[in-house]
Structure 1
Amino acid sequence: MAPQRFHEQFEQIQRSMPDVPLAMGPDDSAEFIYEKGYVLVRDGEDAALVEDTVRAHFTAEPELVQDHVRRAGPRTNRSGITRIQVGDPGEGDRGADRPVAHALRALREVEGRAGRRLVSRNHLVSIAVNSCPGDEPVPVDRSETLNPAPAEGSWDTDSAVGVLVVDTGLMNDFRSSALLAHTDGDLQIQECDGDGVLQQYVGHGTFIAGLVAAVAPNTSITVRNTLNDAGAILESEFGEKLFEAVDEGGWPDILSLSAGTSNGRTDGLLGVEAFMRELREQRTLLVAAAGNNGSATPFWPAAYADLPDYQDAVLSVGALRADGEFGACFSNHGAWVKAYAPGERLTSVLTGFDRPVPYVYQHSTYDACRYGFGYSCSCQSPRHTGVLSEQDPGAKPDQVMFDGHAYWSGTSFATPLVAGMISAHMSAQAENDPRVARYKMLAAAAGYAEVRGAQVPALRPATWRPVPVGPPAARS
């Protein structure tokens, strides 16, 4: 059942990026999305070698067009990568990109001789596609307590820990929430459509900022709207945008990132290679979401936590279900996920309190968990009908009103809980190094939970309240 949601999200992303032809990979599977007709390479000698090799291969394949092979530029600067066109992006359907497949195949032997990767698909990095959220937000009455509730403590300008959130930006009325008094950054560019309806994934960055602020009062939070188009960006642009995000205010203590992609590999993303090398030389700790594929396949950049060169600089975070005892149905898992935190039905700030805002659900809930779990998970509850899922043209999607708080689920939201816990540990222990704080906090505060039969480190904020889960509700 999981691919259904993936295909729906694909349609949503394609509509938000109409000028970028996209394909599913590999072979129409629900694993990742990438740009049709292009591959990604390092600029310079690697790019020249890739061009020459692909042209020679295409000459021997009469159905492929050699003249399509050319650099698409302009190359990014600090990321040091460029795009090479290898086919007509307008040909084939969303599951068929034969020129890219042929180009990758042509380079395998050359990569073997070179002893390194030379080329990759140009993946779509996103909060939306199999990353987070695991469901859509649900309104919560503003009189209800946030979960986690705001921790006790004060903010001090001289000692506040700096947390940078690279996400969708802040809602325009975010300052109406007292919880976000020490939050700043970029605003969401467009919150609503022409009918005044909240767009999908809007409020994601604000919700995350609220979670950090609730767990760690002595934190200065900056939110960047790097992922503004339905939370998606091409890998070819992502590395440069990460550089821009840290350049604007300097390298933070903690970088909270709730986006990524799988790529079918175990050696990372070509597009963020330069950024990750520079991150390694800084003192910043990257806390990254493990993704919501319900899979053990590495999800990047979170999976850098499992590479020896980056294990001190990156902490990957999976999600626990609402009671905090077991893994959430949607959470990615495996040895590359280094810690888990509550990530199901958390309550935080979605908008400010200026006015109610309507939202129309895009995805219908399922009759059974799409990952095969047997508890009442966010796949099934609360029940609603969505625009993208409904096949009956006469069916009416459900609409709700948001006027402040919401509950929401995903590894995106487990991630800022962990970022906040590390920040709080730094303040409480007067620890200046976030990487040292991460190890000390895990040693002192981590309990355990069961995820897919394995006992894993679990971090549960002191003000977080477990929510009972039961068997799925019977359908009438």
Structure 2
Amino acid sequence: MAPQRFHEQFDHIQRSMPGTALAMGPDDTGHFLYERGVVLARDGEEARVVEDTVRAHFTETAGLVPDQVRREGPQTNRTGVTRIRIGDPAEGDDTVPHALRALREAEGRHGRRLVSRNHVVHIAVNACPGDEPVPVARTRRANPAVAEDRYGEESAEGRGSPVEVLVIDTGLVHDHAAYPPLAHTTGDVQPAETDADGVLRQYVGHGTFIAGILAAVAPRTEVTVRNTLSDAGAILESEFGARLFEAVDDGGWPDIISLSAGTTTEGITDGLIGLDAFMAELREQRTLLVAAAGNNSSHAPFWPAAYTGVPAYRDSVLSVGALSADGTCEACFSNHGPWVQVFAPGERLTSALTGFDRPVPYVYQHSTYEACRFDYDYACTCQFPRHTGALSESRENTGAKPHQVMFDGLAQWSGTSFATPVVAGLVAAHMTAYGERDPRAARDALLAAATGSAEVRGARVPVLRPPTWRPAAVVDPAVPV
């Protein structure tokens, strides 16, 4: 993990949520972010147990008055989750860890987890220490390049309607349709792409970049992008489940959901209470959730990708890790472990970003490192291309100015965020090629037919590489493109 990078991102996310007090946990080690002074419980009897237990504990031990433990928001909702406020986080220490400890005995009596923190769910190059985009000349081709119709007319019969992929991310940039592969992509437009000085805001273009990868790997696919994570690519768990329901209600359950966001939690077997209802409904649909494994270079489960390790949801979710730029091993930043089902190219991919109608300036927020922050020995994205970021603490010692570049359409970017649409696209392409209408069956067939593998931390894991993907070189943003 990179503590400096995590603290930089914590400050960035906190500024995007001015009315919400955030904290790092556990013990300031940077594993996840959560809302101070709030816990989550399931509606009904469990919420009452949590409220009563916490109120009794804090009245006796912390001197809180009873109305300082209170439910917030509607008592029942589709997500089945209740927010419970514990005191005022502005008045002192965070009360959430104490509340969790107070509830352990009650959880033991009920035989299940009753309460959790209200985690911050974030895109997988956000609170995770992934890199930032690098400009690429329009004359260079995308990587993966746009696939031709490799299957011919003989496979057209029985295809039926196009495969539908829903991208849950930041919205589309205003000029995305100027990139031919995205001319027919639909969805939400990203609000406020630039700041008051006309500089591109951080993570704008993330959803567009993902849509571009999907359009390259599976050109016949119908891609819709939802602007669910527009605020610094982050959202509270208590709100995320409702936003997911809104996304599928808007156009119906798609064949595939591509989700490049998540969070770790305090327990290695704990999912997200805020997603309980959504995951239960997903399980009953035919939709396949393809989810990023995260960029912490850790084996700690990153949810919702880690639902692949929960038997009840394993069939509903496909978790994706990232390969290095040469495709021979895992990328230094990629999470790993038995819950990561497949790896795909995810370092230095090239896709659409923004600036098609006019160049847009961007100022780097984070600095590169002298050595890989995860102790890998290849030319990874931790080190190259070199740049100095505006948020970096290291600037205080050197006085260096943050590095500015201009985007003119295409970019190179790294993260499990982008390995995810590679795999989602391959599943969609398989469905199109063979007239398969069940995305979960297509997933199974694709993995069964996979001939590639890589060694990741001593284990052999399946690898999927699009036919049009090529090993990538470093692009230097200091060199005009």
Compared CA separation, residues 75 and 67, structure 1 to 2 (3 A): closer
Paired residue for 2:132?
Answer: 136
Match of 1:217 in 2: 219
- Once the two structures are superposed, residues 439-462 of structure 1 have per-residue CA deviations (whole angstroms, 9 ceiling, x without a partner) of 001111341012122211111011
Equivalent position SS for 1:287: strand
Provide closer, same or farther for how the CA distance between residues 352 and 68 of structure 1 changes in structure 2, counting only shifts above 3 A: same
Q: Structure 1: how far apart are the matches of 2:28 and 2:130?
A: 21
Q: 1:258 to 1:75 in 2, by over 3 A?
A: farther
CA distance in 2, matches of 1:353, 1:130: 25
Percent identity reads: 71
Structure-2 separation of matches of 1:165 and 1:61: 46
> Aligned equivalents of 2:357 and 2:76: distance in 1?
40
Which of 263, 266, 276 aligns to 1:264? It is 266
Contact 2:129 2:296 in 1 (8 A): no
Q: Is the 8 A contact 2:143 2:351 kept in 1?
A: yes
Give the match's secondary structure for 1:47.
Answer: helix
Tell me which of 79, 90, 100 is aligned to 1:104: 100
Q: Which moved more, 1:166-175 or 1:447-456?
A: 447-456
TM-score (norm 2): 0.94
- Give the match for residue 477 of structure 2: none
Deviation (angstroms), 1:419: 0.2
How is 1:56-75 mapped onto 2 (pairs within 5 angstroms)? 56-62=56-62, 66-75=66-75
Q: Is the 8 A contact 1:131 1:412 kept in 2?
A: no
**Structure 1 residue identity aligned to 2:27:** D
Task: Specify the alignment match of 1:398 in structure 2.
Answer: 403
Q: Which amino acid aligns with 2:218?
A: A
Q: 2:416 aligns with which of 404, 411, 416?
A: 411
Q: 1:321-352: CA deviations, max 9, x gaps?
A: 00111000110000000001010000000015
- What is the CA-CA distance between 1:143 and the residue it aligns to? 0.3
How far residue 181 of structure 1 moved from its aligned partner, in angstroms, is 2.1
Distance of 2:76 and 2:347 partners within structure 1: 37
Out of 298, 308, 331, which is 2:301 matched to?
298
Are the equivalent residues in 2 in contact too, given 1:124–1:232 (CA < 8 A)? yes
Answer yes or no: is the 8 Å Cα contact 1:130–1:293 preserved in 2.
Answer: no
2:203 maps to which of 196, 201, 208: 201
Give the gaps of 5 or more residues in structure 2: 475-481
Q: How far apart are the structure 2 equivalents of 1:468 and 1:363? A: 21
Q: Distance in 2 between matches of 1:82 and 1:29?
A: 27
Q: Which 4+ residue blocks in structure 1 deviate beyond 4 angstroms?
A: 63-66, 128-133, 154-158
Which of 262, 274, 277 does residue 274 from structure 1 map onto? Answer: 277
Distance (whole Å) between structure 1 residues aligned to residue 241 and residue 137 of structure 2: 39
Q: Cα distance, 1:467 vs. partner?
A: 2.8
- Counterpart of 1:173 in structure 2 is 175
The aligned runs of 1:354-393 (5 Å cut-off) are 354-389=357-392, 390-392=395-397
Residues 124 and 294 in structure 2, CA contact (< 8 A), matched pair in contact too: no
Partner of 1:60, secondary structure, is helix
- Cα distance in 1 for partners of 2:129, 2:136 equals 17
Distance 1:433 1:153, change over 3 A: same
Is the counterpart of residue 351 in structure 1 residue 354 in structure 2?
Answer: yes
Give 1:109-120 correspondences, 5 Å limit: 109-120=105-116
Is the aligned partner of 1:314 residue 2:317? yes
Greater CA drift, 185-194 or 386-395: 386-395
Q: Is the contact made by 2:368 and 2:382 (CA closer than 8 Å) also made in structure 1? A: yes
Q: Is the 8 A contact 1:290 1:317 kept in 2?
A: yes
> Offset of 1:131 from its aligned partner?
6.0
Report what 2:117 is aligned to: 121
Task: After TM superposition, list the pairs within 5 Å mapping 1:248-263 onto structure 2.
Answer: 248-263=250-265
Distance 2:388 2:117 in 1: 34
- What is the rounded CA distance, in whole Å, between the counterparts of 2:370 and 2:120 in structure 1? 30
SS in 1 for 2:254: coil
> Is 1:332 the counterpart of 2:328 in the alignment?
no
Find the partner of 1:150 among 125, 146, 149. Answer: 146
SS at match of 1:329: coil
Kept after mapping to 2: 8 A contact 1:159/1:427 = no
